[in-house]
Amino acid sequence: MRHSNLRVEAAVSDYVLLVNDVAGKMGTAVAEAAQAKGVKVAPYSLTGPKREPKTVGDVTVEFFDTSCDRDAVMQRMKKEFPKLMVIDYTIPDCVNSNAELYIKHGVPFVMGTTGGDRVKLLADVEKAGLSAVIAPQMGKQVVAFQAAMKIMGDSFPGAFTGYTLKVTESHQSSKVDTSGTAKAIVASFQDMGVEFEESQIEMVRDPVEQVERMHVPEEHLLGHAYHTYQLTSPDGEVNFKFEHNVCGRGIYAQGTVDAALCLMAQMEAGSEKKLFNMIEVLKSGDMR
């Protein structure tokens, strides 16, 4: 349910986003997207190694590395910004420890970082009753596509029985694991009767192949997501092709900020629900 009354809107405008880690490319993109939407960004950020301050838009960010007393830092930030909310784009190894820090200090958060022990992460947040958005995919339009495919899988079991499936996904060479989005889409096709295993997903990571075969623009080799799902009938006479090509990080940064806005609105409206995923964010309409 969308909350659009003036009181809620005014209260949302009081929030300040602590983006961890602004030193990274996603953190920077989120900070820029937040400012573009008029959301305040804190002049601080938790990081790994020691770093010099960094200016993003109209905010110069001071970094607190792993040598600092993070409990003291969080207490200081909460005192300075009573309506503090965290956006986490750090590294998989820090997902659970960072969430424990946010829970300890009662700071609501949006977890965009993938990896970690996801079962523990969700259980810890549920137990604490802390408001949070947790999702491995923050691109709103990609999430909507996933949701649509899930609906198809649930509603039309066996619709593609006998069809063969070919899945190709291309990401920057630094991404060593198979796309979680591709896995989710494959699961929906399996529900529709397609015999296909996750291990059959083709991962393209070679830059030359990405440009020549996948047609990824060279300027986006270090940040893209090109996916193709092709279905062929048993007799070879019918073909279906689903494709989504993403260049850059804008779609994820904008979706992340919208997730934060949704969480703010839900909190200010007194929602009993605390933990959200991106499909619920899309359904809520609490974005601007």
Domains of the chain: 6-138+250-284 (3.40.50.720), 140-247 (3.30.360.10)
Mean pLDDT by 10 residues, the chain (288 residues): 55 90 94 95 95 96 95 96 96 94 98 91 97 93 94 96 98 87 94 96 97 96 95 98 95 96 93 94 74
Residue type, 130: L
> With left for phi above 0 and alpha for psi between -120 and 50, is residue 128 left, alpha or beta?
alpha
Torsion of CA 218, 219, 221, 222, to 10 degrees: 160
pTM as predicted: 0.84
C-beta of residue 275 within 8 angstroms of C-beta of residue 134: yes
The predicted pLDDT at position 287 comes to 54
Catalytic residue (choose from 3, 140, 171, 227) = 171
List Cβ neighbours of 69 (8 Å cut-off, separation of 6 or more). none
The predicted pLDDT at position 63 comes to 97
The predicted pLDDT at position 5 comes to 58
Structure tokens at 207: 């830059």
Cis peptide leading into 65, omega within 30 of 0? Answer: no
The predicted pLDDT at position 2 comes to 54
The predicted pLDDT at position 13 comes to 83
C-beta of residue 131 within 8 angstroms of C-beta of residue 102: no
Distance CA 202, CA 134 (A): 27
The predicted pLDDT at position 1 comes to 47
Active site (annotated) includes residue 78: no
The predicted pLDDT at position 12 comes to 79
CA distances from 65 to 49, 87, 100, 203, 216 (A): 5, 17, 17, 34, 35
Strand positions, DSSP E, 98-238: 109-111, 132-134, 164-171, 202-204, 224-232
The predicted pLDDT at position 70 comes to 96
How confident is the model over 223-256, as pLDDT tens digits?
Answer: 999 999 999 999 999 999 999 999 999 999 999 9
Active site (annotated) includes residue 175: yes
What angle is formed at CA 66 by the lines to CA 134 and CA 58, rounded to 5 degrees? 70
**DSSP conformation letters of 185-214:** HHHHHHHTT----GGGPEEE--HHHHHHTS
How confident is the model over 173-221, as pLDDT tens digits?
Answer: 988 888 888 998 999 999 999 999 999 999 999 999 999 999 999 999 9
The predicted pLDDT at position 126 comes to 97
Catalytic residue (choose from 175, 183, 244, 274) = 175
Rg of the chain over all Cα atoms, to the nearest angstrom: 20
